[in-house]
Structure 1
Amino acid sequence: MAIIDPRTGNPLSAQPTPNDDAPAASTTAHVSRDDVIIELDASNIQQVLQASMQVPVLLDCWAPWCQPCKNLMPILEKLALEYAGAFILAKLDIEANPEIGAQLGVRSVPDVKLISQGGLVDSFQGALPEKQIREWLGRYFPAPAEAAPSPEEQAESALQAGDTATARAIYQELMAQYPEHYAYQVAMARVLVAEGRGEDARGVLDNLPPEERDAAPARGVRASIEFAEQALSSEEIAALGERDDSEARYQRALRQVADGDYDAGLEGLLALMKSDRAYNEDAARKTLLQVFDALGADHPLTVAYRRKLFALMY
C-alpha cells in the first residue's frame, strides 16, 4: 500500500532498495507537539483512521505498567517531531481502552503499527533501539535532512574521537534500557578494550548467551583483546622508528589490527607474506586467518583479503 507524503502529495515507496536515494525531508516545516502527537481513545479513533487517508499514522499501543513502553515512547515522540508532519503519532493506552486494543489485535505491548489510508502497512513489537526504528521508518519515509544523531552514532563518534568515557556512559544507558539487545554489550566490550581493560571486556563477553558469545561481533572483540595483549604498545611501535625488517613490519600490522584498523593491518600482513613468507613460522598468514575468523566469513574485508591471500598462495 502506498503511503502519501502529506507535504508533497506524492506516494512514498514501501519497498525501497538499499541503493534508493530518498529525498531528505524538508527542514523548513516547524511543528508543535500538538500538531503531530495525539492521545487515542474511543472518542477520536474513527477520526484518526479517517485522517490516515491523508497522513500516515504511527500507532503506539502501550500500557502504564509496561517499562519497555516507557523506554520506547520518548523515542517515538522525538521522531514524530523530527519528521515534522510526515506522520502522526497516535498513542493508545490499551489498559484504558481494552476494546480498541482487542479490535486492533494487540496481544503484547509495546506494539507499533503504521497505518495509511485506513489500512495496516507494517508493524513491530517490542522496544526497539532508536537506530533500528529509524531504519524501519526509512522503508517508508525520507529521512529528515538534519536528523539528530542517534545514541549509537553519538557513542561511535565519541569512541573514534578517543572519548571512551562518553561512549561508555551512552552504552551503559542503552544496556540498561535494552538488556536483551546484546549488540550494546558487545559495543561496551569494544569500549573497554579501547580503555585497555581487556579482562573487563572478557567478563562482558563471557556473560553473553552462548549464541551471542560465539557470533562474529563478539569473536571480533575477543580477538582484539588477544591481539592487544600480543602487540607492542603504541610507544614501543614508535620506538621502532624507521626499521623495515620483518619483525617491525609484523608488529606494526599487529598493532593496527589490535586498534581495529583492520584494512591497514591486513594489508601489512599480506605485504609481509609476499616479502618474507617464512617469518616466524608463517606468522603473517596465521594472523590473517585469525583476523578473518574474528571479522566473520561474510565481512567485506574477509572476502577481499581471502581472495588476495588465495591469489598469493596459488
Structure 2
Amino acid sequence: MGLQIARSQLAKAEQARAEAARQGDGGGSGGVSPAGLVIDVDEAGFERDVLQRSTEVPVVIDFWAEWCEPCKHLSPLLERLAAEYNGRFVLAKVDVDANQMLMQQFGIQRIPAVFAVVAGHALPLFQGATGPEQIRQTLDQLVQIAEERFGLTGLVVDPDTEPASAPVAASEEPAGPCDALLEAAVQALDAGDFGGAVQAYKNVLSDDQGNTEAKLGLAQAELLQRVAGADPQQVRKDAADKPGDAQAQIAAADLDLVGGHVEDAFGRLIDTVQRTAGDDRDAVRRRLLELFEVVGADDPRVIAARRVLF
C-alpha cells in the first residue's frame, strides 16, 4: 500500500524497546486509566505517542476527518472496542486535515483508514466502511501477533484512575421514545445492520418529521446500505466504461462519498446531470440531493455544488 515511515523514527522506537527490555520492563508499565486508551495524536507527538508507545502495547491508528461521514460511525465503534479490549491495544486518532504529512507517510488514498504500529512496525488493517465482525477479527489477530511475536501483552487498566468528574447518569432525564429509537439506530449501524438502522430512523421521522439527527442518520444509513454489497472494482469499471449511464455514475458517486472523496462524488453527478435528460437526469439530481444531506447543508462543498447545480 506504499506505506513508508521515516527510518530514523522506527530506529528510535526499536532503541526504546531494546532499552525497556534491558531494564526488565516487560511492556505493561501498569496503571493507565480507561480514558487513556484513546488518544489524539498529531505529527509533533507521533514518535512519542505512537512509535515509542508501540514498544509497550499495540497502537491502532484511526485516520479520520470531520467531513468523512463513514468516520463518524467507525471512530465511536473503535473507541468502544478499545474499552472492551481493556488495554490490549491503544487507539490513536489522527485528523488527516491537520496532519497531512502522516497521511502521506502511510500512503493513505481514502478514509477512514486504520493502521496499527507494533514494536515500531507499521501494519495496514483496513480502509473504508468495514463491518464490526471483520474489525473484531482483525483486532484479535493483531493482539495475537503482538503477544506471540513481540511479547506485548498490553497495559494494565486501573479504573480507579478515571476522572472523578465523569457525568452521573442518574441526574439525567429519562430518555423519550425518539431517544430510544435513535439509540437503536446507532446500535444497528455498529452491528452492520444498515437495513435496521434505516427503519429505526424512519420510525423516528414518522413521529417527528423535523428531527435533524434522524434525517442525517437516515441519509448516512441508506448510503452505507447501498454500498455494502457493491463490488468496488466493478462499479468503478462500469462508471469508466459508461460515462453516460446514469445508474453507473450514481453507484460510483456513492463509493466516492463513502471513501471520503466528497468533491469527486459531487462533480461526477453534476457532470452526469449535464449529460443526461428526462428520468435519468431526475434520478441523478435526486441522488445528488441525498448526498448533500449526508454531508450537511452548511458544508462549503455542498454550498458550492448547489450553486453549480442550480
TM-score where L is the length of structure 2: 0.39
Answer 1 or 2: which has greater helix percent: 2
Q: Which has the higher contact order (CA 8 A, sep 6+)?
A: 2
TM-score where L is the length of structure 1: 0.39
